[in-house]
Amino acid sequence: MAKMSIAEALREAIREEMRRDERVFCLGEDIDVEGGFGGAFTVTLGLSKEFGHERILDTPISEIMIAGAAVGAAMTGMIPIADVQYGDFLFCMMDQLANNAAKMTYMSGGTVKVPMVMRAPVGATTRGAQHAQSLESFFTHIPGLKIICPSTAYDAKGLLKTAIRDENPVVVFEHKLLYGSKGTRAEKSALSPVGEVPEEEYLIPFGVGAIRRAGTDITIVATLLMVYKALEAAAVLEEEGISVEVIDPRTLVPFDYEMVIESIKKTSRLIIVEEDTKRNGWGAEVAATIAEEALYYLDAPIKRVATYDVPIPFAPIMENFVIPSPARIADAARDLMKY
Amino acid sequence: MAKMSIAEALREAIREEMRRDERVFCLGEDIDVEGGFGGAFTVTLGLSKEFGHERILDTPISEIMIAGAAVGAAMTGMIPIADVQYGDFLFCMMDQLANNAAKMTYMSGGTVKVPMVMRAPVGATTRGAQHAQSLESFFTHIPGLKIICPSTAYDAKGLLKTAIRDENPVVVFEHKLLYGSKGTRAEKSALSPVGEVPEEEYLIPFGVGAIRRAGTDITIVATLLMVYKALEAAAVLEEEGISVEVIDPRTLVPFDYEMVIESIKKTSRLIIVEEDTKRNGWGAEVAATIAEEALYYLDAPIKRVATYDVPIPFAPIMENFVIPSPARIADAARDLMKY
Amino acid sequence: MKEGNEKIIDMYKQMFLLRNYEDKIYFLFLEGVMPGTIHQSQGQEASAVGMLYDLRKEDYLTSTHRPAGHCLAKGVSLESMMAEMFAKSTGCCKGKGGAMHTGDITVGALPAIAITAGGMPVAVGVGLSCKMRKTDNVVVCFFGDGASNEGAFHEAMNAAAIWSLPVIFACENNLYGASTHINRVVKINDLAERGSAYGIPAEVVDGNDVLKVNEAATRAIDRARKGLGPTFLELKTYRRCGHSRNDACGYRDKAEEKEWFDKDPLTRLKKHMLDHNIITQEKIEAIEQEVMARIESAVDYAKASPDVKPEDALTNVY
Amino acid sequence: MKEGNEKIIDMYKQMFLLRNYEDKIYFLFLEGVMPGTIHQSQGQEASAVGMLYDLRKEDYLTSTHRPAGHCLAKGVSLESMMAEMFAKSTGCCKGKGGAMHTGDITVGALPAIAITAGGMPVAVGVGLSCKMRKTDNVVVCFFGDGASNEGAFHEAMNAAAIWSLPVIFACENNLYGASTHINRVVKINDLAERGSAYGIPAEVVDGNDVLKVNEAATRAIDRARKGLGPTFLELKTYRRCGHSRNDACGYRDKAEEKEWFDKDPLTRLKKHMLDHNIITQEKIEAIEQEVMARIESAVDYAKASPDVKPEDALTNVY
Ligand SMILES: Cc1ncc(C[n+]2csc(CCOP(=O)(O)OP(=O)(O)O)c2C)c(N)n1
Ligand SMILES: Cc1ncc(C[n+]2csc(CCOP(=O)(O)OP(=O)(O)O)c2C)c(N)n1
Ligand SMILES: [Mg+2]
Ligand SMILES: [Mg+2]
């Protein structure tokens, strides 16, 4: 067992897969500059020492091209791992991801495959509205894409390796405050969980959630940073005698509904916590699905604790207010206990 | 009262607003070519005769520019009405709409306004996956945008006029099979409802739904083409003694929850019908909100009838299968009646 | 692949196939037996055949909303193209793609992309793949005059240049983007002038002269195979048909149409062949009859092919 | 607006303000009293001041993730800029925008856009508005060398050209897009070469010589006001600072840094003024002290300003 940060775990996943399969390569902005950062959050740092500059490919600031090139390379025998510096820039390449990456296999009647990975850092870090968004829900709505959100080093490595081997396009959402990026790329107020990662190879299948904390009164579903906020809230609630189960689905598409339904059979109460804004966030889909398929296990309304429906403000005082906090999560839980 | 198609009603709305306010202008691809089509669906046909070519502005095929120019013009004293030929191309301008149009007012602390309108035709018309999508739900998820979907000529004119006068960016989703475009732009299998439109000026406020058919057993919420499919289903169900209320919210943001909740108090059953694909569609938000705020009026699970989660296939046989049909809606209703 | 006169005759045969395939489709479409819409390529046969004739099966093609000519010239089977138009399960996209997305990866024809210029960044990735896999394969990337105003064009051209990728950018300048004349949306005379913004060698080519197109293509392909990087060819041509289904081209000047119809690529090539005694009138007619027969049997094949099943809509997607 | 020597002195004063404002911000940021990140403009003062000095209040500015110099030179108040950095309610964006979105529409400075090249299509709309409203106002659109590889650049340049809009495209080529040297991402020598792809007159300008920049700006502004259309100016310059917070520029060649630091715009202008007896050393010092005092009081103002309230986050959005 080695202890590592999520950034390191992602790097190791890429390293192992690039060693295993020469079709795998990385492309993105500033990912391989000598004396540079190894991408905005150091994930690709140093990889070119082993794999060379062609397989860790620096690109111009051309998001449409980055995504389109990944699609083209993937259809013709390569396995690209592309990235954007901030998730917010995915909007610049949305056409290539939504109209091409997600649809090519289908439009071709299954005759082409698009085995590509698109990595994107999300989360608010006091940089203002254009560098703060969580875009998961825009992509869960696109048939043809798989969506994963690793919140631990163990998951980061295991899920990314699975993503690289998937023959469908996979979008990986990584949280800026969880990377544990070091040195000049370190983030104020980062959580940077360091986790145990086995020496031996392992893969994590998509669609299998993880119970981060077992409980009997309330089920909380959360991803990425919100897993940790939910755990904080759970600790507080425990002192009040409220037992919380925290489920991290780990992948949003496919989604482990079985685990959630098993849990609410026990708790009969459900809260979904997401850093994304509330209206039409992925939490809405989870709530709607449960309301359609498992309504009768519930004794209380389904609560969603999400970022308020506003662009992310710059001032930390405001940013902290709009993003779900342990306190807001705990309040939602107390409300539900009234039922 | 004049009878007109939705395309004509939209044209009249634009004409009246351009007469009223010289800041209003249109820009888009092929909207004003001599001997051309007046846009992909004839909405701007002939308008330049009255307003000249500068105010009905043909653009290069440059979606990023079209949306960005609308944002810039709107911030500096103009009121642009931009359009894309097919809604699917909104992905090409997503960055300008999501990162700029929706956020400028907020990021500036309210010191700038962005009074622009973005028009987009949606719906599947046997053209394949890149000319068939309904993108409403990508935009309902963006704080700062208002989203409207007129399904009748009366609403088209009244809502578009309100949109043009709104100081926030408004995205108008129009359905290809409802326009009633004439001549060479006519659409096979179009429904093209012709409706009564008053001579005198009128505006329709956002956030006020319309009850298209009153009923007591089941509430169906639907927009655009699905309103008509729901009405077809309702007619069939009536013969079976099932009384259906069909609600057309008319605007998705803001959304008339009051009307829906009043209805389910009566019917205690809710079905949401959308042409958009199911996962994370706007129907999920409606279902989740009802599950959070009005769960106890319901005696049955909340059903969503939506397009299956696949890209839209070309073959009509397959397209008809994936898009909600009156039959599928009726089946969902029969299921709910079991509760 | 043929040489000399045989090649010229073979190119004529292909061009005649493209023209009559499209004319047949148009006829069938008007009959109402085909769903969707059509964007046809009558008049642009010389650019498709001239550019693609010398490619290997392992080389690639990226195409547009107007893909029929490109696909047939790259070797997608006539039957599977026709069947796709009929939305049959035997179509090259199993009835899932349709007229704007035809292709067949087994002959290097990627599924066509109908988003204007949307195929250009994809072609960069294909070029990257050819290079990284250490092949000397190339990709011909077709797009139109209108597409040259899309951001995707810019990002793709620049990337192909800096990485000297084996991409041949073939711009079919048929003077119109839908109904909009190119002179209304660019301020330059030749789109080829845009090559210099990226350091990409560019040429203006008579796109209605298949021999000229083929010469330029040969140079560009050769450069690409040698690893010398991309070339930008502006092929001046013209649509004989509407932009899409029932478009009477009311936006086009009749004199302009006449001027270009007189430069019809098939008529010119046929005249060239006869003037230079490359082939006899009789032989030409024999070839044409053979092609027409192939088209008819392709229609029969398509019509006789089984319909898709509704549930097929749920396959081929995760 | 001043003329002759007075103007030169005034431009120096502005440049000195920009430089020391940024240095002060850097200091405060390291102290940890400022949230977020910073993208500073030390070394690029000549382009900001030279381009914007002759603009009217009614003219417009679009800026980038590196907006401080542009905003101050366009007339956004020092106090409101400083207060925004402190995330105070008195900030030019009420604490909602932050370092990457500063601006003040009342002086023509649109809120800066931090999406690389994202402000360029917006500038086209501003130019369209100036023209349609029949004003002779212009817009100066700043962007970087890296931005010139974005699709948005291409679409914006082309549209401004065909509509002859009063847009001055000011490309601050500081040789790097973040950590990537421009020579690794374009194959041409000067970005100005891209003007010809759109029919836009372009010039390479010594971006560290405020007088040269101002001359070029005057010509471009004049063209724009007369309705003659856009101009593309490539301003060669260099960052004295990191790309963003704690960036030691390990990716830059030390010799290159030295070469450019020796071309510092402030040093050069000061020398020019003294050599030509435009001003005395004493007067310069007096000006510098005055500016430093203004900066200090702006800091006091910002610190003393009321914090934003959490609930303010819910206003200014529909
Ligand atoms: C991004 C995008 N915008 C607009 C369209 C609609 N459209 C389809 S074809 C076309 C014209 C394309 O012109 P050009 O590139 O010259 O190709 P041509 O049709 O002449 O072959 C347009 C505007 C589209 N398909 N994609
Ligand atoms: C669309 C987009 N891609 C990437 C980034 C991340 N980013 C911020 S600044 C920057 C470099 C921009 O370089 P340049 O245009 O030369 O401006 P400079 O920083 O040199 O002033 C990058 C890549 C961004 N903000 N937006
Ligand atoms: Mg064309
Ligand atoms: Mg730069």
- HEC string of B180-223 equals CCCHHHCCCCCCCCCEEECCCCCCCCCCCCEEEECCCCEEEEEC
Q: Which of D155, D169, D312 to mutate to test the interface with B (most CBs of B within 10 A)?
A: D155
Of all protein residues, the one whose alpha carbon is nearest to atom 22 of ligand 2 is D178
Rounded mean pLDDT of chain B?
Answer: 97
What is the pLDDT at residue C279? 98
Q: How confident is the model at residue C46 (pLDDT cuts 50, 70, 90)?
A: very high
Q: How many CA atoms lie within 13 A of B217 on its CB side?
A: 17
Q: Which of D188, D189, D190 to mutate to test the interface with C (most CBs of C within 10 A)?
A: D188
How confident is the model over B290-308, as pLDDT tens digits?
A: 999 998 899 999 999 999 9
D176, two tokens:
């790097």
Q: How confident is the model at residue B191 (pLDDT cuts 50, 70, 90)?
A: confident
Chain C contact present for A61, CB below 8 A: no
Q: How far is CA D72 from CA D15, D77, D108, in A?
A: 10, 7, 12
Of all protein residues, the one whose alpha carbon is nearest to atom 10 of ligand 1 is C178
Q: Please check the confidence at residue B134 and state whether its pLDDT lies above 90.
A: yes
What is the pLDDT at residue A166? 98
Q: Is the CB of C144 under 6 A from ligand 1?
A: yes
How confident is the model over C60-105, as pLDDT tens digits?
A: 999 999 999 999 999 999 999 999 999 999 999 999 999 999 999 9
C74, two tokens:
């790259």
How confident is the model over C100-156, as pLDDT tens digits?
A: 999 999 999 999 999 999 999 999 999 999 999 999 999 999 999 999 999 999 999
How far does residue D238's CA lie from ligand 4's centre (Å)?
Answer: 8
A207 CB neighbours in chain B (<8 A) are none
- The position carrying tokens 């000047």 is C253
Of B211, B144, B157, the C-alpha closest to B13 is B157
What is the pLDDT at residue B181? 79
How confident is the model over D191-237, as pLDDT tens digits?
A: 999 999 999 999 999 999 999 999 999 999 999 999 999 999 999 99
Helix, strand or coil, per DSSP, at residue B277: strand
Chain A contact present for B304, CB below 8 A: yes
CA distance linking residue C245 with residue D131, whole number of Å:
37
CA distance linking residue A298 with residue A269, whole number of Å:
6
DSSP A291-336: HHHSGGG-SSPPEEEEE-SSPPPSSHHHHHHHS--HHHHHHHHHHH
How confident is the model over C150-184, as pLDDT tens digits?
A: 999 999 999 999 999 999 999 999 999 999 999 99
Chain D contact present for B59, CB below 8 A: yes
Residues D261-268: what's their mean pLDDT?
Answer: 98
For C243-269, b/e burial (b = at least 16 CB within 10 A) is bbbebebebbeeeeeeebeebbbbebb
A32 and A56 Cβ atoms separated by less than 8 Å:
yes
User: pTM for the full model?
Assistant: 0.98
CA distance linking residue B207 with residue B249, whole number of Å:
7
Specify the DSSP element, H or E, that contains B30.
Answer: none
D150 CB neighbours in chain C (<8 A) are 151, 154-155
DSSP A167-210: SS-EEEEEETTTS---GGG--TT-----EEE-SS-----TT--E
Q: How far is CA C105 from CA A228, C108, D52, in A?
A: 46, 5, 54
C108 and C58 Cβ atoms separated by less than 8 Å:
yes
Regarding beta strands B195-197 and B2-4, do their DSSP bridges make them parallel or antiparallel, or are they unpaired? antiparallel
- CA D313 to chain centroid, in Å, comes to 28
Ligand 1 pocket test, pick from C65, C171, C180 with the greatest ligand atom count within 8 Å of Cβ, gives: C65
Q: Is the CB of D171 under 6 A from ligand 2?
A: no
Partner chains of D (3+ C-beta pairs under 8 Å) = A, B, C
Residues forming beta bridges with residue A28, ordered by sequence position? A58
Q: Is the CB of D147 under 6 A from ligand 2?
A: yes
- The position carrying tokens 């059903």 is B303
What is the pLDDT at residue A188? 76
CA distance linking residue A53 with residue A59, whole number of Å:
11
Q: Which atom of ligand 2 is nearest to the CA of D182?
A: 16
Q: Which of A280, A297, A335 to mutate to test the interface with B (most CBs of B within 10 A)?
A: A280
What is the pLDDT at residue D10? 98
Of A133, A168, A128, A127, the C-alpha closest to A148 is A168
Residue B77: partners with Cβ closer than 8 Å, 6 or more residues away: B23, D129, D133
Residues C229-250: what's their mean pLDDT?
Answer: 96
B107 and D96 Cβ atoms separated by less than 8 Å:
yes
How far does residue C260's CA lie from ligand 3's centre (Å)?
Answer: 14
Q: Which residue type does D172 have?
A: E
**Percent of chain D whose predicted confidence (pLDDT) is above 70:** 100
Examine the residue annotation and report whether A131 is marked as an active-site residue of this protein.
yes
**Percent of chain D whose predicted confidence (pLDDT) is above 90:** 97
C306 DSSP 8-state letter: P
CB contact under 8 A, C316 and A65: no
Which positions of chain A have pLDDT values less than 50? Answer: none
> Nearest-CA residue of chain B relative to A310?
B143
For B105-122, b/e burial (b = at least 16 CB within 10 A) is bbbbbebbbbbbbbbbbb
**Percent of chain C whose predicted confidence (pLDDT) is above 70:** 100
CA distance linking residue B16 with residue C94, whole number of Å:
48
A104 phi/psi in degrees, rounded to 5: -55, -45
Residue B100: partners with Cβ closer than 8 Å, 6 or more residues away: B67, B68, B71, D113, D115, D118, D122
CB contact under 8 A, C177 and B29: yes
Rounded mean pLDDT of chain C?
Answer: 97
CB contact under 8 A, D318 and B80: no
- The position carrying tokens 């699609």 is A71
Residues C239-244: what's their mean pLDDT?
Answer: 96
Of A263, A15, A87, B251, the C-alpha closest to D318 is B251
Of C205, C113, C129, C118, the C-alpha closest to C163 is C129
How far does residue D78's CA lie from ligand 3's centre (Å)?
Answer: 51
Q: Walk across the sheet containing C139-144 and list its strands.
A: C60-62, C139-144, C167-173, C231-236, C202-206
C161 and C128 Cβ atoms separated by less than 8 Å:
no
Q: How far is CA C132 from CA A13, A96, B170, C158, in A?
A: 21, 22, 46, 18
Q: Which atom of ligand 1 is nearest to the CA of A95?
A: 1
How far does residue D159's CA lie from ligand 1's centre (Å)?
Answer: 17
Give ipTM to 2 decimals: 0.98
> Nearest-CA residue of chain B relative to D129?
B73
What is the pLDDT at residue A189? 81
Which positions of B are annotated as active-site residues?
131
Write the residue in D106, D111, D155 that is nearest to B64 by C-beta. D155
Ligand 1 pocket test, pick from C22, C66, C70, C116 with the greatest ligand atom count within 8 Å of Cβ, gives: C116
What is the pLDDT at residue A285? 98
B282 CB neighbours in chain A (<8 A) are 280
Of A176, A305, A156, the C-alpha closest to A229 is A305
CA distance linking residue B264 with residue B249, whole number of Å:
14
Helix axes C210-225, C45-52, angle to 10 degrees: 30
Residues D270-286: what's their mean pLDDT?
Answer: 98
Of C78, C73, C81, the C-alpha closest to C99 is C81
